[in-house]
Structures are given as structure tokens and as C-alpha cells.
Structure 1
């Protein structure tokens, strides 16, 4: 029977495929695909771990016999039986052979399947054996994790299950984990938790695939291998759809592809409004390998290179200067003389580093990561790491135009310390006679304090970038990754629009460049309003560029400027904007070249 699950729409479009569940567990589970030729080695690794656990259980039986109750020995026998039962052992091998799952993932997937079967048993005693199964599976996973080197993550995940479309279902997916899947295996994502502008949602949009977050019990309702539909426009997940519903959504998929093909023809057309104003459209990227997509989409440069993704999924080992320089240099050279804005590492909150690194830096147990040691605070607290990154960026700037962007800066002391760190790095490179380019230095305006003291910032920085995601979060005191308060996250809030407007107008009055690189930049609902407020530079994921460009080509900015002032003084800005726009704007056709 078909079931509908509702959540928050965070990445548009329709995905249809079989569910792959990433089971939550009390132990960390590595999830990666193996190459087909590695199947035999992975099966041997699983057998070795299972034999080791068997030996541990047998040794424990010998140790406790005579001193312990007979029930404990019987329980160990049950665990041994479960460990060798074909429902666990044999089926786990199937996940490895048929899906190319790594051994830990295969055990977790089969545990999820068997747990559901135990939950449906009528006999209470048999239902309670689920806890024994979980203990055995987790012991096996732990043994696998410490039993030797992993086979390794497939460089390109696109070869897995080519004939079966897959969608990923989980309680939550960290941005780092999502980056591991950046290769085309999964057609969509569904998570139980998360908000529209959590970094998980942002990365989902960067993959340009449909996603629904905050779907509550999705990972418990959906079973391994269920056929599901993800409606990324409505925030709807349909489990086991009927043939009629399936065909309707397949038609919508085809229509969506036709629309993307039509918009793609605008990529080489300049973004000029109807009244002749040229608008700069830039791209946000996570890795240097994203730069070609930015060029292909018609971006005029990179407005935000999120450098923190170079630091993730590394087992606690930070990238050295040469590795970082190679990554930044690759992005700069790929963009062929167009500007590249590199944001210094923005670690913290919902983008932690690997556990080893956090533990080493003793930042793992922050009570409120969003308010804690993150972004520029984290960098200034680790000057050695920060210097390495600054040196790598300055070296890359010798190859093309680079702008350096500082995240979450809010104190005059942080401004001074940041410029001193940049100058120290530059002086070191000069002493060592290494190439060092000039960079424009900018500040992210994402803390209300920064917006309120903007004149001070404009005296020091060459440009400013509005990070609207965090600006909304900190202005409204809302954790943007928490679905329980997601309904309060409101880009239309009068206080938010007031700070955005003040920043844009003050920067332009001071002759400083200003860009919006947060989610508002790629949301067509805000394009005309931001233009009316004076914004002339937008940065977004490459997939959003064609739609935003089309909206700009259809906009006559002067007609909206007076309306913007009315919106800023309204108690309900969104309603005021929509009503005023309906009276003011007549749709204009845009010929497609």
C-alpha cells in the first residue's frame, strides 16, 4: 500500500528509485562502495571479522562457565547462533556481492532489515531478541572497523548499481558524508531531520538532485529496496507508489528536463535587466572539480569557494600547504582569468571536522556549536593551521584574480588579528621567495553585529558578502538545522530584510563591492526584491544560475525600487511585496538565443 511522508522541500525536482537506508547505530558505520573486483577481498574481510568475534564469544564462554548463571552461557550461545545464522551472515554477503557495499555497511543494512522483521513478530520473547541481534551486529561492525585498512572509497560512485536508480534515506547525513556521494549514484536524498538552510540541504542543492529533509520518521517507515518518489518541490516522499502515480511523476521528470534544457540556452547571454543594468552572476563551489560546472553554467566567476570541504573526510589529517595550494590553483586556472573568491575555513556547527581532529583540538563537546568556536574564531585559535591556509591562498593568487573572504567576523579585534595573520603569511612567502599574489580581502556579513557596525568594516575591507543563511539564523535566534523550529526560519522577517537592505545600500554608498552568496541569492522569490534594494552581484550554485538569469532578463528595476521602500516598512513584507508587484510588474517575454 502506498504511503506518503511529508517533510521540507530543499532541492527541487523529482527523483524515483529504490531506497538505500543508512541505518543509525550506536557505533559509527563507514558507508562506501567497493569496486567489483574487490568483492572477494571484502568477503574475506567480513569472514575474518566474524571468525574473530566467534573466537571472542567462545573464549568468554570458557571464562564464565562455573562462575556465571547458566542464562549468561545460554545468551552467548544465542549470540553465536545469530552470528553464524544465514539470515545475518549469508544475507550480508549478498549486500556485498550484489550492491558492492563495504562490509560495515552491509552488516548495518542487514541489521536494519532483520530489525523490522523482529518488530513485527507477535511473540514478545522473540521481539526482545532484537536487542541480541543489535549487540552481535555492532560487535561485528566494531571488529571490522579496527581489523585493518578499509578497501577505500570508490573514486567515482557512478558505476554502482547502474541499472537500478537509488535514493538515499537516513536519519541525517552530514555535509562531509554527502560529499562522499558526489558522483552520481544517488538520484535523491531523504532525511528525518534538518532544515531548509542546513548545510546538508545546501550540499543537496549543490548536487542538483531532489531532496526532502525534516521528514520525521522516514527512515523507519521506508524499508531497504522500497520504490519511492521524492517530490523536491512539495516536500513529499511517496513510498511504494501505484503505477498511475509513478507514471505521473515520470512525466514530471521529463517536463523538468525539458525546462532545464531550455534555460541552458541562456548560459552565454549577459545578465542585463530590461532597463539596461548589468548584473554579475557568480557561482558557489565546494571543490575545485566544481569549477568546470560553474563555467558551463555561464558564471562570471566564483563568488564562494567553501574551502572547508578540503578538510573533511580525512581521518583527522589536515591538508598541508602544497595540497591546499594545488586545490586553489586548480580552481583559479580552470576559471580562465575570472575572479575566484576563497572563503577561509568555516568549520563548526553542522560542519565539524573528523572526530580525531576535533578531539585533538578539544572542541568536540561544545554545548552550542553554532555559537561556539567556529569559522574565523576557530582559525585565529589555531594560528599554525590558519597560516598554512593563508599561504596556500596567497600562492594561488599569483596565478589569477583571487579574493579572500573571512567568515563570521564580528569584532574589531578579529579584524586586526585577521589582517595581521595575512600580513605575516605574505611576509613569510616573500622571505622564502615564493610566488605571492595580491588579493582583495572581504568580510562575510552573517552576524548582526557585523551588519550594525558596517561603517567600520567598510573602512578595512575591499568588499563584503552577505551570508544570508547564518544572518537569518543569528538574527532570529533559530538553529537552521533544527526541524522543530524550521517554521520560524523566515527570510522575509522585517529585521532580516532591514539588515540586508542596510548592508547593500551602505556598501554601495561607500563604493565597496557587495554580493549575496547565501541561499537568498539563488531563490527566485527574492531576485527582484534584491535588485530593487540595490544588489548587483549574486552568487549561487551553478544549477540555479539559468533560472535567476531568466528572472533578471525579465525585470525592469526602476519600477520596483519605490515598492522596495514600502516593503521595508511593512509588518508583513512578503504580502506587501507580492501585492505591490502584482500592481507594478507586467510579465515580459524573454527570447531564447
Structure 2
């Protein structure tokens, strides 16, 4: 028996036989093409790109009707990447100018793209490097006349073990009723993780070298909650995990009964539970979980994997699709949260990569720096506000001057729409994300100019503790219960109360059941999270007594030992 550890990204337990996907590319040949054969080599590369497109289109056409919407979304993203000049055109330049063979030209360009993605600060966007690599690998396989989509046969109930999984694999996983999957690569926000949560099956990512230690046909146990893969378990371990499976199934049935119940504490305090979404297709999962609305709609996904940013009309259609899918429920649209190093047009010339992008031209700073991106989005959001309960949220505010500039632009946009006789909600609520320590400390200064706050704990924790949570060397320091983090959260909630504006939380901490009772005690009344965790949080809310939790939180805030804070919060979460 052998146990490997990774990052659990989808709860649950699976027991079954392994199916190991071997996807290693052979060594890429590198040679110089004679001048007279250059255009023939260019044509060969273009044929490989077109073959890749046809394969993805064929897979897309065969997506089962019951597949999660993410399967289509990820395939569409890969199709868009094939149109990106950085993938479809740059290698051709290398063939013509350096006389590289097609495989070598593509490999050289993919290395350039990998470097760009690795320098990105935003952890989600950095993970998009995986998608780029998968598209490149598909083209390489076509150049090398290899293909793997047609011949792999996975039996129902098997556990897939791979270095990584492509969006095309997602269709296969759903169609074959795969029991669980484990990958050597990936992170909690990779498309593999998102898919696992959508399918509702246990999954582990970043289980390094898992595909080397596991052989096809071996019995495995996947513990998605603990991030543990057990290879060739003995009978007693299997029996123990079968008991756990029954417990999990029973708890899931109990949670499903809460879908239509309201999130109200035992002492009758109403709590709003909303969903975070990336794409219009994600609304279905939010509705199925019984979300009270959308607390975070990440609009940057509209801008990615394409040669040009979306125009006003395209954005307007995407926003209204979400709004009309949730009639009468609030939809919080976050304005563009990209950085100068994360190009929306396949890489603009003349833009330098900053030494520390985390502290550079990002989010609202970029939008104010380049209003050609910001103005169409403001118009689209305001136009969409005529169709439902839309709220607009500004990311990464750090100073009042930024907010005042945003307010001026919004007023200008409203005046333009009014003059053009285009309908919008003139009283659309405007909120600010509190994710920079400076914004939390001076939350009272922002509060008088905003209609709500939303605490983005992912970045707030990183900035407060000066760590990158996806960097293996320092992510052990990532701690939502660090006293400084809790103080900043408390300061923000209190500033909201004093200004009589609601305070939400949309970071991962909001969807983690371990912290629900503490956050309730601190005064948080609006939680926004991935739909998969909503029912579990609702159950905790319905069993909570706010008066008691307020006293508990007050005691926690007095503690000076971080270890004691963890012990007390863990003990409370078991109640």
C-alpha cells in the first residue's frame, strides 16, 4: 500500500480500478528547412492547426446533453486559442525567418508563451498556461501524425490518473461515468478542478508523479477532501472508506433537501448565500444550488483567449443572459480584473512585463489607464442594469482618488446613455472589493461613496502576508486565520455597519465551512462562493445561533496565539 498527497479539489471518496492516461510527447525534432521548402513547411503547419480545429469541433458536436456547461466552455476556449496569432501565426514567422521546422517553431513559441504566463500575478490566469500547453500539444501531435482522442477506451467506474486532463477529456469523463480522477499537475482553480466540482466527483490535482506510481488496473482510493490517493489498499482500509462513502451519500441527501430552504439562523437572522460564476453557462449550477443571486461575476473571462477584446454589444449580451436567467435575483458584475502583463489581444507590442506584476498596473488601475477597455464595459453593464437587479463592483481599490475617477467615468457614461435615450438603472448599486490591506484599513473612507463592500480574501490574504498561495515554496504561509487577516476582515465589516451598507465576502474563505461560524460571528451577512459548497454552508447557517457566535468571534479576536485560534475555530466548526 502506498499513499500520495495532492490538493483535494472536489470532496468525496471513490474506490475503483485505475486507468492511467499516458500522454508524453516524443522528443520534438529540430532541424533547418531549406529555403525552397519553406512555404511547404508553412502549409504543413497550417494543416495541423486546421486538423486540431476539426478534432475539437467534432468533440464539441458529440458533447452529451447532460454534460456540465464547463465542458463546452473549455472546448470553446481551446478553439479560440487556435485563432490567436500568438499560436497560429507566430510559428509561421519562425519557419520563414529562422527556417525552423514546424514542430521546432511551435515549441519555441510555446516556451515564450509559458514564460509570459509564469510572470502573471493572477493565479487563475497563470493557470491558463495549462490550456495553452494543451492546445500546443494537440497541434504537435497532428504535426507528428499522432492522435489520441479516438482510441482511448475507459471503462465505466474507473479512476483516471493522468499528468493533466484536457477539456476534450472532460467529455470522455462524463460519457464514461468516470468515478474520480487524479492529476499530477493543476491547482484548485484549474479547469480540471472546476470540472470535478461540476461533475460532483472526487478529484485530486498536484499529486506529483501519480501517473508514474500507478499502473492501470490497480485498485485505488481517492479521498477528495483530504487530497489523498491510496494505491493498492488493504481490505481494512477499503472497508473503512466504504463506510465513509455511505456517510457522505447520506449527508448529500440531507443537504439536497435544503435547496429550497432559506438561510436563516436559529435566532432568526437572515443570511444571503450567493454564487461566484465565470461564464453565463455557470448560472445553471448556481440556480440548482438555490443561490440567492450572483455575488461575483468575473467578467475577465470574456476578454481571454481572443485576438481582440469583446465590444460593448458582446458584453451586453453576455451580462443580460445571466440576468434574465435569474429573474428578481441580484447579479453582481465585477469590472475587468486583469493586469498589464495579461494581454487581452494576444500580446500588445511595447508593453513591458513588470518586475512584480502584483504591485503593478492591474484591475481598476489598468481600466483607468486604458479607458478604451473600461468605457465599453461600463456602458454594457449600465445597459444590462435595465433588465434586472444588477450591481457593479470595482476590484482592487487602494485609494480614494481611484474611486473618484471611477465615479466620474460612470457619471459620464450615464450622461451619454441618457442623451442617447438608452435605458439603464440610474441608481445601480456600486460596490468596492476590499482586497488590498490599505482599502481594509481605510474602509470607512470608502464607505460613504459606495453602496456595498465585498471582501476578496484570496488577494487580501496574499497581500497581507506577502505570499503567493500558488508558489509551493511559500504557500504553507497562506493562512485565513492569521490575526492580521481577521482584523482586516473585522475592520471592513464594522466600517460597513457604521455606514449602513452591506458587506459581502466572495473569496474562497466564504465557501469554506470551517470558517462559516467565525464569519457569522464577525458580522458577515452575505457569503458568495462556488455553487458546489453553498448547501453545506447553508446547513451551518441554519444550525447557528448568531448571539452565541458573536461572543465566540469576540473571544477569538482577543487571542494572541495563532495556533490557539486554529484550535478554537476547528473545535467550533465540529459543533
CA contact (8 A) 2:430 2:450 kept: yes
The answer to whether 1:233 aligns with 2:225 is yes
Within 5 Å, give how 1:330-341 maps onto structure 2. Answer: 330-341=321-332
What corresponds to 1:409 in structure 2? 397
Within 5 Å, give how 1:516-555 maps onto structure 2. Answer: 516-555=505-544
State the Cα deviation string for residues 102-136 of structure 1 (Å, max 9, x = none): xx979959xxxxxxxxxxxxxxxxxxxxxxxxxxx
What corresponds to 2:9 in structure 1? 10
State the Cα deviation string for residues 304-343 of structure 1 (Å, max 9, x = none): 111122223x332322222211111011111111110011
What corresponds to 2:32 in structure 1? none
Question: What is the alpha-carbon distance in structure 2 between the residues aligned to residue 244 and residue 360 of structure 1?
Answer: 59
- The verdict on how the C-alpha distance between 1:275 and 1:434 changes in structure 2, with shifts beyond 3 A counting, is same
The answer to whether 1:319 aligns with 2:320 is no
Question: Which range moves more in the overlay, 180-189 or 265-274?
Answer: 180-189
1:252 deviation in Å?
A: 4.4
Question: What is the alpha-carbon distance in structure 2 between the residues aligned to residue 372 and residue 182 of structure 1?
Answer: 39
Question: What is the alpha-carbon distance in structure 1 between the residues aligned to residue 153 and residue 367 of structure 2?
Answer: 38
Within 5 Å, give how 1:6-85 maps onto structure 2. Answer: 6-15=5-14, 18-20=19-21, 33=56, 35=58
- The verdict on how the C-alpha distance between 1:570 and 1:447 changes in structure 2, with shifts beyond 3 A counting, is same
Give the secondary structure class of the aligned counterpart of 1:305. Answer: strand
State the Cα deviation string for residues 389-424 of structure 1 (Å, max 9, x = none): 111111111001100011111122221222222223
Normalising by structure 2, report the TM-score. Answer: 0.71
1:364 deviation in Å?
A: 7.3
The answer to whether 1:295 aligns with 2:287 is yes
What corresponds to 2:248 in structure 1? 256
1:559 deviation in Å?
A: 1.6
Q: 2:455 aligns with which of 441, 466, 477?
A: 466
Q: 1:418 aligns with which of 406, 410, 430?
A: 406
Gaps of 5+ in 1: 40-62, 64-103, 110-136, 154-158, 588-593
The answer to whether 1:398 aligns with 2:386 is yes
CA contact (8 A) 1:193 1:216 kept: yes
Question: What is the alpha-carbon distance in structure 2 between the residues aligned to residue 199 and residue 411 of structure 1?
Answer: 34
- The verdict on how the C-alpha distance between 1:482 and 1:505 changes in structure 2, with shifts beyond 3 A counting, is same
Q: 1:444 aligns with which of 402, 427, 433?
A: 433
1:260 deviation in Å?
A: 1.6
Question: What is the alpha-carbon distance in structure 2 between the residues aligned to residue 501 and residue 420 of structure 1?
Answer: 30
The answer to whether 1:478 aligns with 2:456 is no
Within 5 Å, give how 1:260-279 maps onto structure 2. Answer: 260-279=252-271
- The verdict on how the C-alpha distance between 1:261 and 1:413 changes in structure 2, with shifts beyond 3 A counting, is same
- The verdict on how the C-alpha distance between 1:364 and 1:35 changes in structure 2, with shifts beyond 3 A counting, is farther
CA contact (8 A) 1:376 1:406 kept: yes
What is the CA RMSD across the aligned residues, in angstroms? 4.2
1:503 deviation in Å?
A: 0.7
Aligned length: 477
1:234 deviation in Å?
A: 1.4
What corresponds to 1:509 in structure 2? 498
Give the secondary structure class of the aligned counterpart of 1:360. Answer: coil
State the Cα deviation string for residues 235-279 of structure 1 (Å, max 9, x = none): 112456678866765664454333222211111111111111111
Gaps of 5+ in 2: 29-47, 63-98, 100-132
- The verdict on how the C-alpha distance between 1:21 and 1:585 changes in structure 2, with shifts beyond 3 A counting, is closer
Question: What is the alpha-carbon distance in structure 1 between the residues aligned to residue 156 and residue 257 of structure 2?
Answer: 30
CA contact (8 A) 1:462 1:512 kept: yes
Question: Which range moves more in the overlay, 383-392 or 21-30?
Answer: 21-30
Q: 1:369 aligns with which of 348, 357, 360?
A: 357
Question: What is the alpha-carbon distance in structure 1 between the residues aligned to residue 26 and residue 229 of structure 2?
Answer: 24
CA contact (8 A) 1:267 1:546 kept: yes
CA contact (8 A) 2:159 2:181 kept: no
The answer to whether 1:429 aligns with 2:422 is no
What corresponds to 2:39 in structure 1? none
Question: What is the alpha-carbon distance in structure 2 between the residues aligned to residue 23 and residue 381 of structure 1?
Answer: 43
Question: What is the alpha-carbon distance in structure 2 between the residues aligned to residue 343 and residue 552 of structure 1?
Answer: 26
Question: What is the alpha-carbon distance in structure 1 between the residues aligned to residue 145 and residue 401 of structure 2?
Answer: 48
1:478 deviation in Å?
A: 0.8
Give the secondary structure class of the aligned counterpart of 2:473. Answer: helix
Give the secondary structure class of the aligned counterpart of 1:304. Answer: strand
Question: Which range moves more in the overlay, 244-253 or 205-214?
Answer: 244-253
Q: 2:275 aligns with which of 279, 283, 287?
A: 283
1:516 deviation in Å?
A: 0.9
- The verdict on how the C-alpha distance between 1:473 and 1:105 changes in structure 2, with shifts beyond 3 A counting, is closer
- The verdict on how the C-alpha distance between 1:394 and 1:220 changes in structure 2, with shifts beyond 3 A counting, is farther
Larger radius of gyration: 1
What corresponds to 1:117 in structure 2? none
